Amino acid sequence: MVPEVHYVLRTGVANGRMVFIGVGGRIDGVVDPELEAAAGQTVQVTLINGEGMQHDIVFELPDGTVRSARVNGAGASSSLSFVAPAPGQYAYFCSVPGHREAGMSGTLRVVREMPKAPPLAADLSHDPAGVPPAVGGRGPQTVSVLLEAVEAEGRLADGVSFPFWTFNRTVPGPFIRVREGDEVVIRLRNAADSTMMHSIDFHAALAPGGGAMGLQVKPGEEKAIRFKATSPGLFVYHCGTPMVAEHIANGMFGLILVEPAGGLPPVDHEFYVMQSEIYTAAPFGKLGAQEFSVGKLLDERPEYIVFNGAVGALTTLHPLRARTGERIRIFFGDAGPNLTSSFHVIGEIMDRAYPDGTLRDAPRQGVQTLTVGPGSAAIVEFTPHVPGRFVLVDHALARVQRGLIGFLDVTGPADPELYRPEPVSAGAP
Ligand SMILES: [Cu+2]
C-alpha cells in the first residue's frame, strides 16, 4: 500500500489536558489538529507516545472504526492506514477510558480534492521524460556541452524550499548523451551570483578528478576541458569541489550516457531518474525555507531522500507515463552522497538490466531489485502489459516516508491472462 498522505501525532499534555499534538508539516505543534484528506486517498497516521501513559487512536468512519495498537511506553509508536471515505467530517480520539473526554479528540475532514498550496519556490526537479534522442547510429564526432553552475532556492516539497546548488537550474542536471569514441568538450560557467566555486567530475572521463582538476570555476568565470568517451555505459557526473559530499547533496549531479557504436535497441520511452539525499537542519516535513546541515551530512542521517531532487517530483509533478505493450528504458543513477539504493519497480520485472551502468557486458535478465551504490548507475528495460499504477522505490522502504517514491502510470488494454481479479467463491478450499 502506498501512503498518499501521512500524519504524525504525538500524545502529550497542553493546558492541563491530555491531547494529540501534530508533528511536521501544516499540523506541526497544533493541538488536536484537524486532519485533511481527499476522498479515495490512502491515509496513514502514526501515533507516537509522548509522555508514557497508555494511548491509542481511533477513527470513526462510515464502514466502521479503524484503530491503532495501544502504545504503552514513552517513544513507542504505532501506525494505521485506511482509504479516506466520502467527503465529510469524521471523529478521531483515544479509546482508553476517559481520554477522549480529557481532550484527546479531533476531526478528520475529507474533501473531494485537496486544495493546491501556492508554490513557495520554483520547481527545479528534472522531468524524467527529458532525455535527448539517441546518437549511437552516427559515427564518432566532437560534442560540445555548456553547463552552468547555478545556486537557487527551489521547491523541496509542498510548502518547503531549499537552497539548491544545480547544473543548469535542474536536479539532476541535464542528461548528456554521447557516443563511444566522441570527443566531449565541456564548458563550465559559474553564475556571477554564486557564493561557491564549482566544478565537475565525470565518471566517464579518464582524467585527474574526472576532469574536476581542470574545471574548478570561480563565480562569474568559465573554464573548459576535452575528454574522449572510451567506455560505453551510463556514468554519473557531479561537482568535485570540496566538500564534495555537500555539493552533491545540494543537487550538483547528473548522468552522461556513452552509447556503444550502433546504439541501444530502440524503445518507446526513455526516462531519467536519480536518487539522492538532502540534509536539512529541521526535521522532514517542517514547512518553510530550509537550511543545510553539515552535521547530518557527516552523520549520514538525511531528512529527505528523493527522486529527481524533490518530494513529489515523480508523483504529483512529473509521473512517468506509458501504455501497455510499450517498451520502457529507465536510466537510473544514485547520486548519494551516502546511501545505496535497492532500485525496484513495484509490479514489474526488469527483463533487461545493465548493473553498474556498464554497456560492455551483456544485460542480466529477469531482475527484481538492482543494487546501485552512490556514484553508480544502471539501465533497466521492461514492457508493462497490465494497466495501472506501478511504483518506483528504493526497496529500503522506510525511505518512502522521507519522500522516495515515483509513479509509472500505465494506460491501455488489460491482459487478463497475466493478471485479473479473482472472485472469492463459497466452498472453495
Ligand atoms: Cu559545486
* Residue 102 pLDDT > 80: yes
Contact 311, 317 (CB under 8 A): no
Q: What pLDDT is recorded for position 1?
A: 44
Residue extents of the structural domains in the chain: 5-111, 120-429
Ligand 1 geometric centre to CA of 124 (Å): 16
Q: Which residues hold their Cβ within 5 A of ligand 1, which is an ion?
A: 198, 239, 241, 247, 252
pLDDT digits (tens, 9 = 90+) for 109-121: 999 988 776 778 9
The correct answer on CATH 2.60.40.420 for the domain covering 120-429 is yes
Alpha-carbon span 351 to 367, nearest angstrom:
6
Ligand 1 geometric centre to CA of 198 (Å): 4
Looking at this protein, which amino acid is placed at residue 323? R
* Residue 408 pLDDT > 60: yes
CATH of 5-111, one of 2.60.40.420, 3.40.720.10, 3.40.50.720, 3.20.20.100: 2.60.40.420
Ligand 1 geometric centre to CA of 336 (Å): 15
Ligand 1 geometric centre to CA of 314 (Å): 25
Question: Do 120-429 and 5-111 have the same topology in CATH?
Answer: yes
User: In which element (H, E) is residue 109 found?
Assistant: strand 105-111
Whether pTM exceeds 0.85: yes
Ligand 1 geometric centre to CA of 19 (Å): 46
Q: Which of 305, 300, 252 is nearest to 277 (CA)?
A: 305
Alpha-carbon span 158 to 119, nearest angstrom:
7
Cβ-proximal residues to 240 (8 Å cutoff; 6+ apart), any chain: 199, 200, 201, 209, 210, 211, 212, 215, 247
Q: What is the mean pLDDT of residues 326-354?
A: 98
Ligand 1 geometric centre to CA of 251 (Å): 9
- Concatenating the DSSP letter of every residue in 264-329 gives PPP-SEEEEEEEEEE-BSSPTT--EE--B-HHHHHHT--SEEEETTSTTIIIIIS-EEEETT--EE
Q: What pLDDT is recorded for position 427?
A: 66
Ligand 1 geometric centre to CA of 70 (Å): 48
Sign of CA dihedral 203, 209, 213, 218: positive
Contact 71, 61 (CB under 8 A): no
Looking at this protein, which amino acid is placed at residue 257? L
Ligand 1 geometric centre to CA of 312 (Å): 24
Quick one: DSSP state of residue 91?
A: E
**Across the chain, what does the average pLDDT equal?**
96
Buried b (16+ CB within 10 A) or exposed e, 404-425: bbbbbebeeeeeeeeeeeeeee
* Residue 3 pLDDT > 80: no
Ligand 1 geometric centre to CA of 165 (Å): 7
Q: What is the mean pLDDT of residues 41-52?
A: 95
Ligand 1 geometric centre to CA of 163 (Å): 13
Q: What pLDDT is recorded for position 429?
A: 66
Ligand 1 geometric centre to CA of 241 (Å): 5
Ligand 1 geometric centre to CA of 365 (Å): 37
* Residue 90 pLDDT > 50: yes
Ligand 1 geometric centre to CA of 170 (Å): 14
Whose cell is 487478463? That residue is: 416
- % residues pLDDT > 90 (the chain): 93
* Residue 350 pLDDT > 50: yes
Ligand 1 geometric centre to CA of 56 (Å): 47
Ligand 1 geometric centre to CA of 231 (Å): 25
* Residue 423 pLDDT > 80: yes
Q: What is the mean pLDDT of residues 297-320?
A: 98
Q: Which of 368, 356, 173, 404 is nearest to 272 (CA)?
A: 173
